[in-house]
Structure 1
Amino acid sequence: MSLPAVSDLARLALYMRPSCPYCVRVTDFCQTADIKLENRNISEGAHLEALMVGGGKRQVPCLRIQGDDGQNHWLYESMDIIAYLKQQFSN
């Protein structure tokens, strides 16, 4: 499955937990790269439910990517998320 290209950060959301070291890896990268993602803490019930319904599992970090067609794509694994963000937003 190929992931859609995006240039609008509003089409991305990072499902995470502040205590998760892999989530911290992604958020640290975003801070360093000046990429301002919407963080959705799964400790809040609505975000966990959205992750489970959309992505199919509770694993974090997970990047929700909304394509041009409105379809959501769910990307797990911190290094895969970082690689995707580098590809989309590197200068």
Structure 2
Amino acid sequence: MPLDHNHQLTVLRDILSEHQLDCCGTVSECEQIERLVKSLLANNEVSADVKHILPNIYAYGQGGKYSPDLNAHISAHQDQLADWVNGLS
């Protein structure tokens, strides 16, 4: 059963929160971020405020996926992660 957009937002928020708190993550989490953002951007029920920050989150996931040092990538985005988690709440 596919997740509705509220559940997708919860999963996305959880991944970003874990990155923020743990300062580490996995490539598969970055790929999941990309998939969630693509789905949310295509959904008309998602608010314009949320859609406004999703491209930056997508870029973060993509950058992390290709980063030679994922933990450094996550650490470099600590301020944005906090803002995004708050923006998705």
**Larger strand share, 1 or 2:** 1
* Higher RCO structure, 1 or 2 (CA under 8 Å, sep 6+): 2
| TM-score, structure 1 as length reference | 0.28
Larger fraction in helix: 2
TM-score after normalising by structure 2: 0.28
